[in-house]
Amino acid sequence: MMELPGAPTFRLEGKRALVAGASSGIGLACATALADAGAFVTLAARRKAQLDDAVDAMAQRGWHAEAVSLDIADVGATEAMVEATEPYDILVNSAGIARHGPATETTPEDFDTVVGVNLKGAYFLTRAVARKLIAAGKPGSLINVSSQMGHVGGVDRAVYCATKFAVEGFTKAMAIEWGKAQIRVNTICPTFIRTPFTETTFDRPERVAWIEEKIKLGRTGTVEDVMGAVIYLASDASSLVTGTALLVDGGWTAD
């Protein structure tokens, strides 16, 4: 009888996952997906009360999660938190901010704030989790939530685009550096997803028209659109995938 290949599992039992920026939006959706797939999930963000509510809701479904107050812009606190616990098999960094506006009006303060979270914070969080895995001799999957704006430009988004292009760059470099240690590093690049973070964009009809024109599938995204992507990259189903960007953009960047 013919031997058929065995399909890889998308299940995550026995895995520890850290999700930064998990209090709402894409981060909360990613934490939910990982917990549903069987991982023990640490939800981290600045808004501890919202994290506690999420953990309580997960517990009611029989999932395993905990909440940790964390601002990834504080590199010292981030490294101390990661160092004080067991290695995380999975990292999803969804923490991010934006200060949109014309490039001619960018202030140094806004530039530093956005870079401090989206680039510096992301870089050192990824490094901290990787160092712990390397010290323990364990493999891992590290995922940075980037953006389609890490591949194209956008109106009033010069600083945001700069940080996301940079995330794409360090992700590739880290993937090369840590490949021999079986640590995979990838990005997820969503299009415009309806979350509290994007409310100001969707409140502007001219911006909505621009978005809908660019998305080939003809609709904006929901957080559920990202959940399958994070399960894929976190699980053994993507065991040969590293140093790449998974675009969840409805075809925005296809042309």
| pLDDT tens-digit series, residues 121-136 | 999 999 999 999 999 9
- Burial pattern 114-149, b for ≥16 Cβ within 10 A else e, equals bbbbbbbbbbbbbbbbbebbeeeeeebbbbbbbbbb
Catalytic residue among 15, 88, 123, 164: 164
In a domain, 232, yes or no: yes
Indicate the length of the chain as a whole number: 255
Tell me the Cα Rg of the chain.
18
Among residues 20, 172, 179, 176, the alpha carbon closest in space to that of 88 is found at: 20
Judge whether residue 39 has pLDDT over 90.
Answer: yes
Q: Work out how many domains the chain is built from and give that number.
A: 1
CA 246/CA 233 separation, integer angstroms:
9
Using a pLDDT cut of 90, give the percent of the chain over it: 90
Q: Is 88 a catalytic residue?
A: no
Choosing from 132, 160, 214, 232, which is the catalytic residue? Answer: 160
- Give the residue numbers spanning the domain of 23: 16-254
* CB 125, CB 73: distance < 8 Å: no
Residue 68 binned pLDDT confidence (cut-offs 50, 70, 90): very high
Cβ-in-10-Å burial (0-12, 13-18, 19+) of 219 comes to exposed
Q: Sheet with 245-248: list strands edge to edge.
A: 64-69, 40-45, 16-20, 90-93, 140-145, 183-190, 245-248
Q: pTM of the full predicted structure?
A: 0.95
CATH code of the domain in which 203 resides: 3.40.50.720
pLDDT in tens, 212-247: 899 999 888 999 999 999 999 999 999 999 999 999
The reply to whether 6 falls in a domain is: no
Report the mean per-residue pLDDT for the chain.
96
Half-sphere exposure of 79 (CA within 13 A, CB side): 10
